[in-house]
């Protein structure tokens, strides 16, 4: 018999419910968290054995996206099972990971896996914050050491500037000024993920603080649940005997600390190569020292592999004590910036952005409206017209290794840069292109995602994409005593333009992107138990100063979008047609539209409001495609002349195709001034003939004449035409065929031909 227990509370106008004891009973701990009708199952498992030989905390965080949760079946005809995680699922997993990771003991070497699974989504309450709440709750009631609980909230803002707690999808469509996710407690901020429409720094800071203040009842709610059903937390028992590994670590730490001035700070280390060489030299000196102290080589290996982290600790101390950074910069100083555009000859737009050793090449490709990405995930439907893809390779980090597809980090960095540019993109009505930017990271040493944001801005402007304003981004770092004070920050300094050796224990990576007028995207993670609000406020203010400096340097290369597109980019022309004529343009089974595409090579996209978007890189073929579209959808008028194609011959006349799917009849008496017994005597199928529209009768039938376009013979005397049998019944001097070219014409002849 299942022993279930349930708790509920009202939060933000909806019910938050936690249930334990029903699912996943073999996990270390499991619970479901429901908000509205969005329900997430969270589980945590800790391996019973320690992974030997690793120098990191092996935490795995996954978000399982289930299409059944949204009542959907996968769109592919051949694959209905969920496959690899969607980008949205990966981003949610990363969001959860960044919030819970800082609260673990980093010395743990057991595998710990947290899985959040979407069992139900209601389309209104975002699954991501519910997944984070579920992860917090399950870790809190488990036996695994974890310094929680924390809460999470999704914050929006209405037109009046008022903040909205856990904004719904419908509210977000109406008020998309702010899309902010925060995690932490009322006192501390642990994680931020946000997009914004140029929100001021002051407003953004207030939104983060307000969102965390709303977490107070949730944190107390989780504490209450832990008191009732929480497992006893595991405690690492120290036996008081120092192991050999601990002795080596203590000896190494003292050696580096005692010799820091000589080994680390004797000269500034500006380049990454200099810092790599410094680490290698310290490893050699430390190995010699440890050997002299009597430690075996096998005992030294683990500590020698962690030298970089020991160095980071000394660098943090130096910054806190004397504001001295390893490369000699001031705390608010940005590394050298280099920008260049038009690096590649045939692409639609390209730019290089370089900040210190971080170098990114961003390349723009413009496509037809039909090249947009179709979204078909658990919570997303529709299309995406702007795509940013981030690529890195082993050489990016000066290493060798196998080439694989983009990992979770690359997908996350690409999404952040994409979000940063979205608020300044032109509207589809003004610029209907599909836009793809690929950022190739040529070198990484501190915030390649923000370098990708800057590179994307430059390349889009170089390509002639009319973005509203340039966007730049900067990564802010932190030197604090949080790495040596159980994660609690009491002494700190904010660093502008974070780089490798500065991102150690007690640090943060606070990325902020925006324009001169406000913030467009933010992402933050920390290696502390949370950031105090005075620290966060200082970071936001300091980042603006850096962003404005970067924007100024970028403007020296290109300050606004070019007026013209690259000659290699396709052109899009919009033709407006009567929406009722869309079926004529498409034709039966797509016959007409396929013919236009096949003959011109153009891409045709049709909107329901009658806009026909024609995309082509060939000017002449573009003109032909425009003509063919107009010909398919326009009305034939009396008096017009055409070069038509003979498509059917009958005894009473010839049918001539004037426009795609539209025929007219040349009666036998209108073929020539001379008497013609049968049309087949002078015409054959496929002939191109000049015709003039005599009239369009009240049934919409088109009557043509060939002879009126020819000189009348001298002395011509008109004769009455002999009566003829036509299609099962005499119609005198006028008759015609139906849409299938056989028998009498019927009403509707002027419509498309099958």
Give the residue carrying structure tokens 């006893």. 232
The whole-angstrom separation of Cα 370 and Cα 318 is 55
Residues ≥6 apart with Cβ < 8 Å to 381? 375
Residue list, annotated binding site: 503, 509
Record the tokens describing residue 733, joined without a space: 């001097």
414: left (phi over 0), alpha (psi -120 to 50) or beta: alpha
Give the residue carrying structure tokens 């224990």. 505
The whole-angstrom separation of Cα 507 and Cα 316 is 9
The whole-angstrom separation of Cα 35 and Cα 185 is 19
What 3-state class would DSSP assign to 192?
strand
Contact 498, 476 (CB under 8 A): yes
Which one-letter DSSP state was computed for residue 744? Answer: B
The whole-angstrom separation of Cα 566 and Cα 87 is 31
The whole-angstrom separation of Cα 587 and Cα 200 is 52
- Counting beta carbons within 10 angstroms of the beta carbon of residue 228, is it exposed (0 to 12), middle (13 to 18) or buried (19 or more)? exposed
- Counting beta carbons within 10 angstroms of the beta carbon of residue 36, is it exposed (0 to 12), middle (13 to 18) or buried (19 or more)? buried
The whole-angstrom separation of Cα 87 and Cα 73 is 18
For the stretch 270-277, contacts whose Cβ atoms lie closer than 8 Å and that sit 24 or more positions apart, written own/partner, are 270/327, 270/328, 271/357, 272/357, 272/398, 272/443, 272/445, 272/500, 275/326, 275/500, 275/501, 276/398
The whole-angstrom separation of Cα 44 and Cα 149 is 15
The whole-angstrom separation of Cα 691 and Cα 640 is 8
Pairing type for strands 358-367 and 151-157 reads unpaired
Residue list, annotated binding site for Mg(2+): 503, 509
Residues ≥6 apart with Cβ < 8 Å to 352? 338, 339, 340, 341, 343, 359, 360, 361, 362, 455, 458
Task: Residue 668: count other Cβ atoms within 10 Å of its Cβ.
Answer: 25
The closest of 434, 441, 435, 382 to 407, measured between CA atoms, is 441
């Amino acid at each position: 018999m299942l022993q279930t227990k349930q708790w509920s509370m009202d939060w933000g106008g909806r019910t938050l419910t936690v249930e334990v004891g029903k699912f996943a009973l073999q996990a270390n701990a499991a619970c479901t968290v429901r908000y509205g009708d969005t329900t997430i199952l969270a589980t945590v498992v800790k391996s019973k054995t320690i992974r030997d030989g690793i120098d990191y905390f092996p935490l795995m965080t996954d978000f399982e996206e289930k299409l059944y949760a949204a009542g959907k079946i996968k769109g592919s005809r051949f694959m209905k099972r969920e496959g690899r995680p969607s980008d949205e699922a990966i981003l949610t997993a990363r969001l959860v990971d960044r919030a819970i990771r800082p609260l673990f003991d980093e010395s743990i070497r057991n595998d710990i896996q947290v899985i959040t699974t979407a069992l139900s989504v209601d389309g209104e309450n975002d699954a991501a914050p519910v997944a984070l709440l579920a992860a917090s709750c399950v870790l809190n009631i488990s036996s695994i050491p974890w310094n929680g609980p924390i809460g999470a909230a999704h914050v929006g803002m209405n037109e009046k500037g008022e903040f909205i707690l856990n904004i719904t999808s419908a509210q977000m469509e109406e008020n998309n000024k702010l899309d902010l996710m925060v995690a932490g407690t009322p006192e501390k901020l642990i994680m931020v993920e946000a997009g914004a429409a140029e929100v001021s720094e002051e407003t953004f800071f207030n939104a983060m603080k307000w969102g965390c203040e709303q977490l107070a009842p949730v944190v107390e709610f989780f504490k209450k649940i832990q008191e009732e059903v929480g497992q006893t937390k595991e405690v690492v028992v120290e036996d008081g005997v120092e192991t050999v590994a601990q002795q080596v670590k203590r000896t190494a730490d003292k050696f580096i600390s005692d010799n820091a001035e000589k080994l680390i700070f004797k000269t500034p280390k500006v380049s990454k190569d200099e810092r790599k060489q410094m680490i290698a030299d310290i490893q050699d000196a430390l190995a010699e020292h440890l050997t002299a102290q009597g430690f075996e080589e096998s005992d030294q290996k683990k500590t020698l592999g962690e030298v970089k982290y020991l160095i980071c600790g000394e660098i943090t101390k130096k910054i806190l004590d004397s504001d001295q950074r390893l490369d000699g910069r001031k705390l608010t100083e940005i590394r050298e910036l280099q920008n260049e555009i038009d690096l590649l000859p045939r692409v639609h737009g390209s730019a290089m952005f370089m900040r210190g050793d971080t170098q990114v090449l961003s390349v723009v490709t413009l496509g037809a409206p039909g090249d947009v990405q179709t979204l078909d995930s658990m919570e997303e439907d529709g299309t995406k017209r702007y795509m940013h893809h981030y690529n890195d390779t082993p050489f990016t980090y000066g290493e060798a290794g196998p080439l694989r597809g983009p990992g979770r980090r690359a997908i996350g960095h690409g999404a952040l840069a994409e979000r940063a540019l979205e608020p300044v993109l032109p509207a589809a009505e003004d610029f209907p292109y599909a836009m793809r930017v690929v950022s190739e990271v040529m070198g990484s040493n501190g915030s390649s995602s923000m370098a990708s944001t800057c590179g994307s801005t430059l390349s889009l402007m170089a390509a002639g994409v009319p973005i509203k304003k340039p966007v730049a981004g900067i990564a802010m770092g932190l030197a604090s005593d949080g790495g040596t004070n159980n994660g609690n920050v009491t002494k700190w300094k904010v660093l502008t333009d974070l780089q490798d050796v500065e991102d150690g224990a007690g640090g943060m990576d606070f990325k902020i992107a925006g324009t001169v007028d406000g913030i467009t995207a933010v992402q933050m993670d920390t290696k502390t138990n949370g950031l105090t609000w005075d620290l966060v406020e200082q970071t936001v203010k300091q980042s603006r100063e850096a962003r404005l400096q970067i924007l100024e340097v970028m403007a020296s290369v290109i300050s606004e979008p070019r007026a013209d597109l690259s000659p290699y980019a396709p052109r899009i022309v919009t033709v407006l047609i009567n929406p009722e004529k869309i079926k004529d343009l498409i034709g039966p089974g797509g016959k007409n539209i396929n013919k236009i595409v096949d003959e011109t090579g153009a891409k045709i996209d049709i909107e329901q409001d009658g806009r026909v978007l024609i995309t082509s890189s060939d000017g002449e073929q573009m003109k032909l495609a425009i003509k063919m579209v107009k010909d398919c959808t326009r009305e034939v008028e009396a008096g017009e002349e055409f070069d038509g194609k003979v498509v059917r011959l009958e005894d009473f006349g010839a049918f001539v195709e004037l426009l795609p799917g539209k025929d007219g009849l040349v009666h036998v008496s209108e073929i020539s001034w001379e008497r013609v017994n049968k049309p087949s005597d002078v015409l054959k199928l496929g002939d191109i003939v000049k015709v003039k529209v005599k009239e369009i009768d009240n049934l919409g039938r088109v009557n043509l004449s060939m002879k009126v376009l020819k000189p009348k013979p001298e002395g011509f005397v008109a004769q009455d035409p002999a009566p003829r049998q036509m299609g099962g019944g005499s119609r005198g001097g006028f008759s015609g065929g139906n849409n299938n070219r056989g028998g009498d014409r019927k009403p509707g002849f002027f419509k498309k031909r099958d």
